[in-house]
Amino acid sequence: MDRNPDAPGFADADIARVADFSDGDAVLAAVGDLEIDGVTTVQAERAVPVIARIADALDIPGIGAETARAMTHKETMRLKLAEAGVPQPRFAVIRTENDVAGAAARVCFPAVLKPVDASGQFGVYRVLSLDDVRARLPDTLAVSPSGEAILEEFVEGMEMNGIVVVRGGTPVFVVLCDRLHPPGPSFGVSWIHLFPPGIEDGQLANAERVAADAALALGLRDGIAFPQLIATADGGVAVVECAARIGGLMAELVRHALGVDLLEVQIRLALGEDVADELMQERYRRPVAVRFLTAEPGPLRAGRVTRVGPLEQVLAAPGVVEAALYPVAGEVIRPVTVISDRRGYVIATGATREEALARAELAAGLVDIDVEAA
């Protein structure tokens, strides 16, 4: 399902329908002649509430509309996490400029301003003062479908991505990795995922518990959660947010690091089938680095693409297990500010996480793309 009739997935789909997947009415109308057994998404945050609605409407397995809202609407998410006692940053909702001063007094600076119901790091800013909030607020509200923003305490520490598989209301698989981001205004965009995480075992065990607690607090009973956390220097952990999807190439990272196929797990959950313990047992454990391809900073050059070369050199580099390039001729590669500015990736393994990262960086430097000023 995609509103773009030229979407690449249509070439592989047995049945393809053109419709905007964020429009529940359009989706239901487009599939009205089909017998649907399950519905799911892997990456698309905007699809999560619609998928829950479709599942309810067709009486097939799903996470439910209430859980879908809690895992996509940041105010609802924060309130439910607070009710359950899950550690998180201080926060306050901003609907108009009149709310700014009160929100700042509750949260304090530095802080992060973000839309309550958008994704892809659109409208997300690190703010240092009331003037910063007021200056950025119109842009943040503009990308929020509900026209609301949330101001959150900026927590210093190591940011981490997580995966939590919940089966029958019990977390049965939890994995975390470091989530590194470039300096500057793109601070919210991850450009490196690194496994295993670099924190001490005791703090890691606590982070895994907090990640699982967050998924349950938001109502997930059968599904996969994608939490983001901060591990602080004093040993604490805070939940940044928790999505109801795999997200962020975490399926690829988990497959290469542990030999677990999260896509099979996700599809079985969507079909209401049994997810056996064996599907989530580690086949091996090895360090993995995912290096997203970005420009300014990053290995790519900003500009209009004139030629995209082959990936053979990248794939042949030491330790590389997977790589992909997204750009096509005529496309403009921009300095990284939002998730969609990531234009490919390299995944590498090594004897240590440091070696895996060094190999991924080396291979990323071999990417063959020509650009001209745009």
Is-cis flag, bond preceding 196, omega within 30?
yes
pLDDT tens for each residue of 206-229: 999 999 999 999 999 999 999 999
pLDDT tens for each residue of 158-172: 999 999 999 999 999
- Note the pLDDT of residue 218: 98
Give me the mean pLDDT over the 94-108 stretch: 93
Terminal CA-to-CA distance of the chain, rounded, Å?
32
Q: Please tell me whether residue 320 adopts helix, strand or coil conformation.
A: strand
Structure letter (DSSP) for residue 301: P
pLDDT tens for each residue of 323-335: 999 999 999 999 9
Q: Give the distance from CA 240 to its chain's centroid.
A: 12
- Note the pLDDT of residue 313: 97
What rounded mean pLDDT belongs to the chain? Answer: 94
- Note the pLDDT of residue 188: 80
- The Cα–Cα gap between 100 and 11 comes to 48
pLDDT tens for each residue of 25-45: 999 999 989 999 999 998 888
- Note the pLDDT of residue 272: 95
Which two structure tokens, joined as six digits, stand for 5? 């009739």
pLDDT tens for each residue of 104-143: 999 999 999 999 987 778 889 999 999 999 999 999 999 9
State the pLDDT confidence band at 336, using cuts at 50, 70 and 90: very high
- Note the pLDDT of residue 174: 98
Q: 249: number of CA atoms within 13 Å, CB side?
A: 27
Q: Which residues pair with 303 in a beta bridge?
A: 333
- Note the pLDDT of residue 329: 94
Longest Cα–Cα distance in the chain: 57
Which two structure tokens, joined as six digits, stand for 343? 């234009």
239 pLDDT above the threshold of 80 = yes
Q: Give the distance from CA 275 to its chain's centroid.
A: 23
> Is the Cβ–Cβ distance between 121 and 248 less than 8 Å?
no
